[in-house]
């Protein structure tokens, strides 16, 4: 699989969403008859598209609306929601900042200490709205915040960092023992992010209830430019899904993997499922919802890093309601609305009755599929020519 890139050095060719296409099936199915649901720790969800734990994407109101629609939105416990009593005013400052000053302002805003009482308050607010309470934090805060989350009634805890491994070495602080952490928790734990077969196997051994797949593909993430890290999402998802399947064969325990980031359209989401994902997590598409706290602006989770920001603030605009983005009707031509309609139609066209069957859809390498026959769209900068 690898090619020589220089003397004594080989590299493997990997693929992203724009380089592949899905082949229509021999049998087609009415999109209304497919089942696109997925499960976390045995709990089913009708919408297999999760909202990322980013401050511009998810607040209490957004999470409640997402829950009503059958999906999961993850609230960031390291962000403005737990640092400020009135996060809306802080978000307004970030949104209104001039582009040259945006990163510096975000860095300053995130130096305010996290107030642990606000963690309980936000989770209580979610429960009051009868929302599925999914929350997230970095490994350094996980032990402390998870205790609060469990005591307050959270439903799901996500431990997330740019790159996560089951063996982390540090001479300056005590790393989180993921095995012990997952074993002692009373609620399901998702871990992320990873992109390789071997690390996926290691993390599955911790007893987690799901894994996030993806390093650096997000619209507001600059990890690939700053650190040079990343594996294109199609290859990463296929590699990690193979590890999931091997783990299932060995243990009898099926742990879902969730492709996180890099998906701009319904077509990208469909390709992620065909690559082996059980669910996907997106940010930029949801920032475009009227309910999103970022009001059309999106910034990466590591934008606030005091010494080495690995994200930036981008403007994506507002195009419609959250319901419209998930279920339509679509009023834009770029594939960013009616994501569930796109997924179910793709499943029907490929003959997949459920997500598991979507994993078996034929994939071809097709780097020209985005532009094939689209000369008028490109010339007029509409549809796929934008």
Q: What is the pLDDT of residues 40-61, one digit of tens each?
A: 999 999 999 999 999 999 999 9
pLDDT at 98 over 90: no
H or E segment at 179? Answer: helix 178-184
Does 9 reside within a domain?
no
Does 198 reside within a domain?
yes
Task: Find out whether 359 and 270 touch, Cβ atoms under 8 Å.
Answer: no
Three-state DSSP state, 76: strand
Q: Give tens-digit pLDDT for 203-259.
A: 999 999 999 999 978 766 777 778 888 899 999 999 999 999 999 999 999 999 999
Residue in the block written with tokens 């020589």: 4
Of 56, 58, 80, the residue nearest 71 (C-alpha)? 58
Q: What percent of the chain has pLDDT over 90?
A: 73
Which phi and psi angles does 344 have, rounded to 5°?
-65, -35
The token duo for 319 is: 């195009």
Find the mean pLDDT for residues 357-379: 84
Does 249 reside within a domain?
yes
Three-state DSSP state, 282: strand
Q: Could you count the other beta carbons within 10 Å of the beta carbon of residue 173?
A: 9
- List, as one string, the DSSP characters of 231-258: --HHHHHHHHHHHHHHHHHHHS----EE
**Mean pLDDT in the chain?**
92
| pTM, entire model | 0.94
Number of domains in the chain: 1
H or E segment at 91? Answer: helix 87-96
Of 39, 57, 17, 18, the residue nearest 296 (C-alpha)? 57
Of 28, 81, 36, the residue nearest 266 (C-alpha)? 36
Q: Write b or e for each residue in 226-255: b if 16 or more Cβ atoms lie within 10 A of its Cβ, otherwise e.
A: eeeebbbbbbbbbbbbebbeebeeeeeeeb
Domain that holds residue 374: 20-385
Of 290, 298, 282, the residue nearest 323 (C-alpha)? 290
Find the mean pLDDT for residues 334-361: 97
Tell me the helix, strand and coil percentages in the chain, rounded to 5. 40, 15, 45
H helices of 262-321, in order, are 266-274, 284-287
The token duo for 160 is: 């997330």
First-last CA distance in the chain: 34
pLDDT at 308 over 80: no
Supply the CATH number for residue 228's domain.
Answer: 3.20.20.70
How many whole angstroms separate alpha carbon 332 and alpha carbon 338? 10
Does 5 reside within a domain?
no
pLDDT at 371 over 90: no
Beta-sheet pairing, 134-137 with 2-6 = unpaired
Instruction: Report CA 153 to chain centroid distance, whole Å.
Output: 23
The token duo for 383 is: 């549809």
Does 28 reside within a domain?
yes
Using pLDDT thresholds of 50, 70 and 90, give the confidence band for residue 17.
very high
- Report the pLDDT value the prediction gives residue 302, as an integer from 0 to 100: 61
Half-sphere exposure of 298 (CA within 13 A, CB side): 25
Does 4 reside within a domain?
no
- Report the pLDDT value the prediction gives residue 224, as an integer from 0 to 100: 79
Query: Residue 339, class by beta-carbon neighbours within 10 Å (0-12 exposed, 13-18 middle, 19+ buried)?
Result: buried
Residue in the block written with tokens 């996926």: 200
Q: Which residues pair with 137 in a beta bridge?
A: 159
The token duo for 66 is: 């997402």
Does 196 reside within a domain?
yes
How many whole angstroms separate alpha carbon 328 and alpha carbon 347? 17
Polymer length of the chain: 386
Does 7 reside within a domain?
no
Which phi and psi angles does 213 have, rounded to 5°?
-115, 120
The token duo for 222 is: 């600059």
- Report the pLDDT value the prediction gives residue 304, as an integer from 0 to 100: 64
Query: Residue 172, class by beta-carbon neighbours within 10 Å (0-12 exposed, 13-18 middle, 19+ buried)?
Result: exposed
């Amino acid at each position: 699989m690898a090619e020589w890139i220089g003397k004594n050095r080989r590299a493997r060719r990997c693929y992203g969403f724009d380089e592949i296409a899905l082949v229509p099936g021999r049998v087609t199915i009415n999109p209304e008859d497919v089942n696109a649901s997925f499960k976390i720790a045995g709990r089913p969800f009708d919408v297999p598209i999760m909202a990322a734990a980013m401050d511009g994407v998810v607040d209490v109101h957004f999470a409640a609306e997402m829950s009503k629609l059958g999906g999961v939105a993850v609230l960031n416990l390291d962000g403005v929601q737990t640092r400020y009593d009135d996060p809306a005013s802080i978000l307004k400052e970030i949104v209104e900042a001039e582009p040259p000053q945006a990163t510096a302002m975000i860095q300053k805003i995130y130096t305010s200490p996290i107030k642990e009482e606000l963690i309980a308050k936000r989770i209580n607010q979610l429960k009051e709205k009868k929302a599925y309470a999914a929350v997230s934090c970095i490994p350094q805060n996980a032990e402390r915040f998870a205790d609060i989350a469990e005591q307050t009634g959270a439903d799901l805890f996500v431990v997330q960092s740019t790159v996560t491994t089951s063996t982390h070495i540090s001479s300056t602080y005590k790393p989180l023992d993921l095995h012990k952490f997952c074993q002692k928790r009373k609620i399901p734990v998702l871990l992320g992010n990873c992109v390789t077969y071997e690390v996926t196997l290691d993390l599955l051994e911790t007893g987690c209830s799901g894994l996030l797949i993806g390093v650096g593909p997000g619209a507001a993430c600059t990890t690939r430019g700053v650190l040079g890290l990343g594996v294109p999402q199609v290859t990463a998802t296929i590699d990690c899904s193979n590890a999931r399947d091997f783990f299932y064969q060995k243990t009898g325990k099926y742990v879902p993997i969730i492709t996180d980031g890099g998906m701009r359209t319904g077509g990208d989401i469909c390709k992620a499922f065909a690559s082996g994902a059980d669910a996907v997590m997106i940010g930029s598409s949801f920032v475009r919802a009227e309910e999103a706290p970022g009001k059309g602006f999106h910034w990466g989770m590591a934008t606030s890093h005091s010494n080495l920001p690995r994200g930036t603030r981008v403007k994506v605009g507002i195009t419609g309601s959250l319901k419209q983005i998930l279920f339509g009707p679509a009023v834009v031509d770029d594939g960013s609305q009616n994501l569930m309609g796109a997924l179910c139609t793709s499943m029907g066209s490929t003959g997949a009755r459920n997500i598991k069957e979507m994993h078996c859809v034929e994939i071809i390498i097709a780097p020209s599929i985005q532009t094939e026959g689209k000369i008028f769209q490109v010339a007029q900068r509409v549809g796929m020519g934008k």
